[in-house]
Structure 1
Amino acid sequence: MTPDSLVTLRQHLENRLRALPAEARRLLHGRGRCWPGLEQVTIDWLEGLLLVQLFREPPAEWLDELRSMLLTLGGLPGWAAGGGQGILLQHRYLADSHTEYLLGEPVEQWTITENGLRYRLDLGVRQNSGLFLDMRHGRRWVQAQAQGKRVLNLFAYTCGFSVAAIAGDAKHVVNLDMARAALSRGRENHRLNGHAVDRVSFLGHELFKSWGKVKKLGPYDLVIIDPPSFQKGSFVLGKDYPRVLRRLPELLGRQGLVLSCVNDPEVGPDFLIEAMAAEAPGLVFRQRLENPVEFPDIDPDSGLKAMVFARENA
């Protein structure tokens, strides 16, 4: 976080404001380490709102200059032309992820669009807003694969994959997440898109205590596994991911597909390939989905890994 990095950031944002995307998109992914001095900064365009996130506490002078620079954006022609309404600065390095509203009225909920589908976000009240933009291609892939399928969405969070699956005419989707508030937002996301929720189940349970119920609702044609890298008291990636994978043979139908994901920069794609071979050897690696171009990374193996596996005879 240097003075030169602020100049770079301003120039980048001024360029992006000249042609803002119609849907929600990341405008700057500093965490991919392609922007020297901005490694702890991300900026998202949320269809009227600019969300700036800091993942490490910056020097006080740099922070003051950042605030001033962001405020000047509201006076640029592209801001009004693109429908700009507010600028938020979120301090993710703080325990409460404090959010400042630099421009515009405070707003706690906001609706965005992705691939023509609508999602409700929480802003300024939680660490994460409710939709991870780097998984855009994953949701699009699920929508394309879902027709007529029974889908199991593990670690469902706010059910973005479920919304995509029902939009793709899935027969039924089972969402499981221990955070019931997140599942409630998932129901709302389905309603935003006019989906009949009689084809969707919401299980607010801890996964490792609920295998019997999950299996009873199967078998599944598509299983989605997108866990947190670490969740205190419930999930540790290296220890618990293999425990999930070894259950797949009893959950999947004969032509079953698996979308297995991990977003820990310290864990490469080989982790999933090797763990799947050890725990569910009947499933073979088919492809890794490309990440959106707006999420560049100096090391592709550090970015999101969304890996497709299939039954060996599929």
Structure 2
Amino acid sequence: MQASSLELFFAKLKQQLTNAPHEVRRLFHGRGRKYQGLEQITCDWAQGQLLVNLFKQADEAFLAQLKQGLLELTQQPVWQEVQGSAIVLQHRYDDGAPSEVLFGELNSRPVVVESGLKYQLDIGRNQNFGLFLDMRYGRDWVREHAKHKNVLNLFAYTCGFSVAAIAGGADLVVNVDMAKASLSKGRDNHRLNEHNLNQVKFLAHDIFKSWGKIKKSGPYELIIIDPPSFQKGSFALTKDYKKILRRLPDLLAPGGQVLACVNSPQVDCDFLIDSMKEEAPQLSFVKRLENPPEFADIDEQASLKVLEFCY
């Protein structure tokens, strides 16, 4: 990371703040590698709180200039106009991803809005705050396609897809994730939106050991697969994704849809398309969903890939 590039960072940041919606949003995406010297920095807007992430250790000159620039930002008219309240710097590269509050008083558990739906964030204690912002269009798509459907949400995390599905009129959503704590946050997200929890199931199970339980609530008209790229001891992308795909014909209703996602730069769209042909040839590739413009990448195959398939 180059201190000389921070002038561009602050120029882009002020521009995006000026146009920031009254929703949670990525403001600067250095990880898309479009800004030389800023590849390891991102900045998110949590409706009053600015969340800056560093993904690689920076030298003292860079850090000092970054912090000074962020503090100077709080004295500018744009900060007052958007009612900024806090700035947090998180060191994602370090053990425990420690955070430091540079300005204001952090609200570590704010409720934010995306596409009119509410989500509870958890800022500063984990690497991720509970909602992957690059998946906004994916959640919007699910909301548009979920009406009167049984929906299966695999690797549900905090159940963002589930919230979108119920908001879109789904009859039932089954969320599966090994982490009970994440599913508990998902339950809270549904409550925030005043959803009927009788329409939502939460299965804290290892997917690969629970196909019988998962199948009981089927068949499903819509299945979402959004796994981590790697999770030690439980999921390795190139080996385990195919194990899920081969189960799809037994889980899907005729005409059912699948939203298959992968966010690893190590594989491209062909990995999913070819794997589906190999493991579940009854399903046809329909299209790739666009990513939100704020997540532009110099190589679209390295960015988030969200693909629609039909049975």
Bin of the TM-score, shorter chain as denominator length:
over 0.9
Counterpart AA for 1:220: Y
Rounded to whole Å, the distance in 1 between the matches of 2:308 and 2:45 is 29
**Structure 1, residues 100-139: CA drift from partner, whole Å, max 9, x if none?**
1111113321111010000000001111000000000000
The alpha-carbon deviation at position 44 of structure 1 amounts to 0.6
Counterpart AA for 1:262: V
Rounded to whole Å, the distance in 2 between the matches of 1:61 and 1:229 is 33
The alpha-carbon deviation at position 251 of structure 1 amounts to 0.3
SS at match of 2:87: strand
SS at match of 1:233: coil
Counterpart AA for 1:17: L
**Structure 1, residues 33-56: CA drift from partner, whole Å, max 9, x if none?**
001111001111111111000000
- Is 2:299 the counterpart of 1:299? yes
SS at match of 2:214: helix
SS at match of 2:69: helix
Q: Is the 8 A contact 1:143 1:165 kept in 2?
A: yes
Q: Which residue of 2 aligns with 1:57?
A: 57
- Is 2:28 the counterpart of 1:28? yes
Q: Which residue of 2 aligns with 1:272?
A: 272
SS at match of 2:19: coil
Q: Which residue of 2 aligns with 1:154?
A: 154
Q: Is the 8 A contact 2:139 2:164 kept in 1?
A: yes
Counterpart AA for 1:193: N
Q: Which residue of 2 aligns with 1:247?
A: 247
SS at match of 2:169: coil
SS at match of 1:26: strand
Q: Which moved more, 1:221-230 or 1:81-90?
A: 81-90
Q: Is the 8 A contact 2:3 2:61 kept in 1?
A: no
Q: Which moved more, 1:123-132 or 1:99-108?
A: 99-108
Rounded to whole Å, the distance in 1 between the matches of 2:209 and 2:3 is 51
The alpha-carbon deviation at position 3 of structure 1 amounts to 2.4
Q: Which residue of 1 aligns with 2:139?
A: 139
The alpha-carbon deviation at position 303 of structure 1 amounts to 0.7
Alignment of 1:104-183 (within 5 A): 104-183=104-183
Q: Which moved more, 1:118-127 or 1:100-109?
A: 100-109
Structure 1 gap segments, 5+ residues each: none
The alpha-carbon deviation at position 83 of structure 1 amounts to 1.6
Q: Percent identity?
A: 56
Rounded to whole Å, the distance in 2 between the matches of 1:98 and 1:27 is 21
Q: Which residue of 2 aligns with 1:202?
A: 202
Q: Is the 8 A contact 2:117 2:193 kept in 1?
A: yes
Rounded to whole Å, the distance in 2 between the matches of 1:33 and 1:154 is 30
The alpha-carbon deviation at position 65 of structure 1 amounts to 1.1
Rounded to whole Å, the distance in 2 between the matches of 1:15 and 1:159 is 32
Q: Which residue of 2 aligns with 1:99?
A: 99
The normalised TM-score by structure 1 is: 0.98
Alignment of 1:4-15 (within 5 A): 4-15=4-15
Structure 2 gap segments, 5+ residues each: none
SS at match of 1:267: coil
Indicate the RMSD between aligned Cα atoms, in angstroms: 0.8
Rounded to whole Å, the distance in 2 between the matches of 1:8 and 1:137 is 27
Alignment of 1:75-86 (within 5 A): 75-86=75-86
Q: Which moved more, 1:280-289 or 1:57-66?
A: 57-66
SS at match of 1:222: strand
The normalised TM-score by structure 2 is: 0.99
**Structure 1, residues 223-262: CA drift from partner, whole Å, max 9, x if none?**
0000000000100000000000000000000111000000
The alpha-carbon deviation at position 17 of structure 1 amounts to 2.8
- Is 2:225 the counterpart of 1:225? yes
Q: Provide runs of 4+ in structure 1 moved above 3 Å.
A: none
SS at match of 2:120: strand
SS at match of 1:122: coil
